Structure 1
Amino acid sequence: MGSEAGESDEMPEHRVTLKAFYLAEHEVTNKEFAAFLMNIGKGADGGGRELINFQGAWKGERCRIKKENGSFAVEAGYERYPVCYVTWFGAQEYCSWLSRKTGKRYRLPTEAEWEYAAGGGDMEYRYGWGDISPIRQKGGNIADKSAGKVFCDWTVWNDYDDGYVYAAPVESFRAGRFGLHDMTGNVSEWCADWYGEYPVGIFTNPAGPRRGIDRVKRGGSWFSPPYDVRVTKRDHAVPAYCDFCLGFRVAMTAKRQP
């Protein structure tokens, strides 16, 4: 886990052992998150903690879930797009609700689980689709030449066009080694961990620091230039933060361990 060739917070590269776990094939969608909001009703205020910013908007992207008269509706045509403008608290509450609804223990992935899954396990890929440039296989939704035409000051992958300037519907691109879509790009994803320096040593099921200020977010997004969509690249924000290219996916510990 980590990289000696990356930024300082990606160091040291270290060995991690994980229990078997499941990770959702795609990011949580607007339709799925709206169903959660409808089900919890008045609890959608998060008990004083914002779960999602319904008024969130930037350039051509905005929150596609609207709150009207106590109801929550997804803007037509955006049901299968990843939810954005969701806080870490919102992601956590969704996992808790889904657990109650299904009787299974859903949660956010740890940073170590996320990196293992994105990198194809022991393959340790540079990107979610592999080690090569995305040009040959439409690797994912990242800052590309179509985005560069709209945002002229961006650093983009000039010889790659994924067909989207902003977010894409989930599962629009080929899955990686473990059948997971959009581990690189589309929207970045909240993880369970507090953000902090990597420790030195060999660890089993690391869950990050015991306390902190920021939570980890991973994966880059449609807004991210090439360097920022590497599997080992780290990012972080306070739990109440939300933006136009940040979402999440759910995880679950496997009952049967090898």
Structure 2
Amino acid sequence: MVAGCASLGPPPAVENSLGMAFVRVPAGEFLMGSDETPAALARSYPQLENQRFLDLADEAPVHRVRITRAFYMGRFEVTVGQFRRFLQASGYVPESVADGTGGYGYNPAYDGETSASGDAFEGRDKRYSWQNPGFAQTDAHPVVNVSWNDAQALAAWLSRTEGRRYRLPTEAEWEYACRAGTRTRYQNGDDPEALVAVANTFDRTSAVNWPRWQKQALAGSDGFAFTAPVGSFAPNAFGLYDMHGNAWEWVSDWYAEDYYAHSPVDDPQGPPDANVHVRRGGSWHTWAFYARSSYRNWNTAQTRYPLVGMRLVLESP
């Protein structure tokens, strides 16, 4: 349903002042969402309890969406180095620093099972921020511990500085770009175990640090216990990397569980308001089930977490 998608090679990229590469995503239409039955999902993800397959009402109904204008999307997730250059040039102070509460981070001595929050990561704590998620990163890794508001600030600064409109993708644009003409769970098919070839998700390498979740880990190894340098895996048919895994990606939409039931066909923008924003794609710590193209997650605009990053859209002239 995407014109010419099957014949696309890696598209040329345009680069901006922060060194972000953007590739052109053509206009087109696709089927958004999933209509897989709980029984079918249970067969493919036998390590998960049945209730998880019953809590997916927000992925339905499958509905036709038309993206009426081509757009440019970040070939990669925004990196640590690019975010640092933005902060240096703009003077912006990320929320994890500005509000004095910090972010979340990995601490091998922290035990989520005995903590008051029960969270997998320690925080909020001033020790953790985009500069320190509790594990080593280089400038080539995806920036994490950034809020939706931080992402908006980056897009607004780039727009003012360059005179071109940058923004977060809509949820529909994100899924359209992720699928790149497919209707399978992942860019390389339906088999969760094959995900290690194209994505950095929760596998046996990551599970070493979370032994209580060993059974939820993929049997294979993608070679990364935490984030991977962007572009470490194969791109999809649109030339986009890490659409599954590595870091959850903020999108512009507010979240509503029933939005798909009344979503417009052309360029849906999400509900007019709500309490939380959508994030997509899964992360290095995400079980394969939650890294599917159709899966929806959400957080408040102020959330900062060592799994959550961003990818921007540059509008076509």
Alignment of 1:39-188 (within 5 A): 39-41=89-91, 43-44=92-93, 56-59=104-107, 63=129, 65=131, 78-121=138-181, 123-133=182-192, 135=194, 138-154=197-213, 155-188=215-248
How far 1:125 moved relative to its partner?
3.1
More off after superposition, 147-156 vs 23-32 = 147-156
* 2:266 pairs with 1:207: no
Identical-pair percentage: 35
* 2:15 pairs with 1:15: no
How many angstroms apart in 2 are the aligned matches of 1:132 and 1:163? 19
How many angstroms apart in 1 are the aligned matches of 2:144 and 2:300? 16
Contact 2:218 2:288 in 1 (8 A): no
1:219-244: CA deviation from partner (whole Å, max 9, x where unpaired): 01111111101000000011001101
Contact 1:2 1:10 in 2 (8 A): yes
Residues paired across the two proteins, number: 244
Report the 3-state secondary structure (helix = DSSP H, G, I; strand = E; otherwise coil) of the residue aligned with 2:259.
Answer: coil
How far 1:158 moved relative to its partner?
3.3
Structure 1 52/160 Cα, relative in aligned 2: closer, same or farther at 3 Å?
A: farther
* 2:98 pairs with 1:37: no
How many angstroms apart in 1 are the aligned matches of 2:136 and 2:219? 32
Partner of 1:232: 294
Please list every run of at least 4 consecutive aligned residues from structure 1 whose deviation after the TM superposition is greater than 4 angstroms.
48-55
How many angstroms apart in 2 are the aligned matches of 1:45 and 1:137? 32
Corresponding letter in the other structure for 2:66: T
Corresponding letter in the other structure for 1:3: S
Corresponding letter in the other structure for 1:65: Q
How many angstroms apart in 2 are the aligned matches of 1:216 and 1:76? 27
Please identify the structure whose Cα radius of gyration is greater. Answer: 2
Contact 1:49 1:240 in 2 (8 A): no
How many angstroms apart in 2 are the aligned matches of 1:33 and 1:116? 26
1:9-33: CA deviation from partner (whole Å, max 9, x where unpaired): 1111111001211111000001111
TM-score (norm 2): 0.70
Partner of 1:72: none
* 2:280 pairs with 1:218: yes
Partner of 2:45: none
* 2:298 pairs with 1:250: no
Unaligned runs of 5+ in 2: 1-31, 37-52, 109-120, 122-127
TM-score (norm 1): 0.85
Report the 3-state secondary structure (helix = DSSP H, G, I; strand = E; otherwise coil) of the residue aligned with 2:161.
Answer: helix
Partner of 1:198: 259
Report the 3-state secondary structure (helix = DSSP H, G, I; strand = E; otherwise coil) of the residue aligned with 1:204.
Answer: coil
Report the 3-state secondary structure (helix = DSSP H, G, I; strand = E; otherwise coil) of the residue aligned with 2:156.
Answer: helix
How many angstroms apart in 1 are the aligned matches of 2:169 and 2:312? 7
Contact 1:183 1:219 in 2 (8 A): yes
> RCO higher in 1 or 2 (8 Å CA, sep ≥ 6)?
1
